[in-house]
Amino acid sequence: MMAKHYDKQFKLDAVQYYHDHKNLGLQGCATNLGISQQTLYASDEAKEIARLKRELRDAQDALEVLKKAINILGK
């Protein structure tokens, strides 16, 4: 059996649906969307990883700014 592939927008919408309907649970949302529980979980996990990567990048950028400020003020 071939795995079904969903486009990025569908995955984003599915994750948003899950977050908007937490009371249904993962299985209930997956059933309503016509996808497997694993697909919905993987999409949610991917969204969280992307968010954490953005957060890390922002923190690293802020750290670089602070390092430069320390160098400027320390002279």
- In tens digits, the chain (75 residues) has pLDDT values of 566 889 989 999 999 999 999 999 999 999 999 999 999 999 999 999 999 999 999 999 999 999 999 999 987
Is 1 domain-assigned?
no
Is 2 domain-assigned?
no
Is 32 domain-assigned?
yes
pLDDT at 75: 72
Q: How many domains does the chain have?
A: 1
pLDDT at 1: 57
* Whole-angstrom distance, CA of residue 6 vs CA of residue 10: 6
Give the range of the structural domain holding residue 27, as residue numbers without chain letter: 8-73
pLDDT at 4: 80
